[in-house]
Amino acid sequence: MIPIDHGIDRFLDRSIVLGYSDLGYRYRRRRWPPDDPGSEALVGRRALVTGAGGGLGEATALGLARLGGTVHLLVRAAPRAEGALRRISDTLAAEGRSAALVVEECDVADLDAVRAFAAGLAQRLASSGAVLDVIVHNAGVLPATRTESADGHELSVATHVLGPILMTESLLPALAGSDLGARVVWVASGGMYAQSLHVHDPDYRRGRYRGAAAYARSKRMQVELIGCMSQRWAPQRVSVYAMHPGWAATSGVTNALPMFTTLTRPILRSPEAGADTAVWLAATSPAPPSGTFWHDRQARPTSYHRGTQADPAQVEVLWQWVQAVGLGDEA
């Protein structure tokens, strides 16, 4: 293992192109301990990965399964998981491993569907004496035009913020049973660095709608709210993290941002490289400090420019809105 030069690491991070691309990942990974996390870090553990039908979600599920975990792959409809199931199983078989994989169905943007799914999963786990140790909130959308969820919320914020928070809250009994403390990981985006926190228009009802901006705004919400979530769920010993994967080559990125993909294709990371930090946060020991934001296994600032920094009062306004519309809780 080569010691990391934090000055070079910060330079890579600030340069964006170098740090977010495969170049940054290759530089950093040579400096990580080869046994972190250990090869059996998740044996006897259970994880739920949303948006696991391909891309980063599939790569995350593969990484967790490689560490011995039972992995629930959540998709909007079961057929979406067929390819991922086959690829994960084939990869592990080629490595002499096996996987315990379970397919789950839920539209994360539909709050009623989230409540029903979480209640069903919690009941199934309780009846078998099982608990939930990890949730990775990876499900994502990037609508071309403004679209509303079944509950009337802008689809990005419903998928990336309201649904996942409700799901975690509804699964707290299962998470609280984790003997080492459960971990919840949010897959954010480096694109959020370009956005401020729009606390007075979280549903993007004002101004000209742009899908990429809506996506980045909702990712900014995720990152700013991890402290609130960490505090709320601390009594259940649930640690909360956010991370961004850098620039990874996935079908979602290609379909949503074809020009970006064309220009950056030679330096894009693999999905497994993009998912690495999410897997690491789920399995490394000891657990990193809760309420922190990560990229390439290093805690990162949440803002680099004064114009995008959120003050505590703004975060509290947003958190009150999330509790009211997402959790039905005015506290």
**Active site residue: 20, 215, 241, 304, which one?**
215
Do the beta carbons of residue 47 and residue 69 sit within 8 Å? Answer: yes
Of 161, 211, 153, 203, the C-alpha closest to 186 is 161
* Distance in angstroms (rounded) separating the CA atoms of residues 174 and 125: 7
Do the beta carbons of residue 102 and residue 74 sit within 8 Å? Answer: no
* Distance in angstroms (rounded) separating the CA atoms of residues 153 and 204: 9
Of 207, 226, 206, the C-alpha closest to 288 is 226
The two structure tokens encoding residue 89: 């199983």
Spatial neighbors of 72 by CB under 8 A, at least 6 apart, are 46, 47, 48, 49, 101, 102, 103, 104, 121
* Distance in angstroms (rounded) separating the CA atoms of residues 331 and 165: 15
Do the beta carbons of residue 241 and residue 293 sit within 8 Å? Answer: yes
Do the beta carbons of residue 261 and residue 268 sit within 8 Å? Answer: yes
How many alpha carbons fall within 13 Å on the CB side of residue 102? 12
Task: Specify whether 215 is catalytic.
Answer: yes
Q: What does the DSSP 8-state code read for residue 98?
A: -
The two structure tokens encoding residue 16: 């964006």
- What would the DSSP string read from start to end of 6-22? HHHHHHHHHHSHHHHSH
* Distance in angstroms (rounded) separating the CA atoms of residues 136 and 278: 7
Catalytic residue IDs: 215
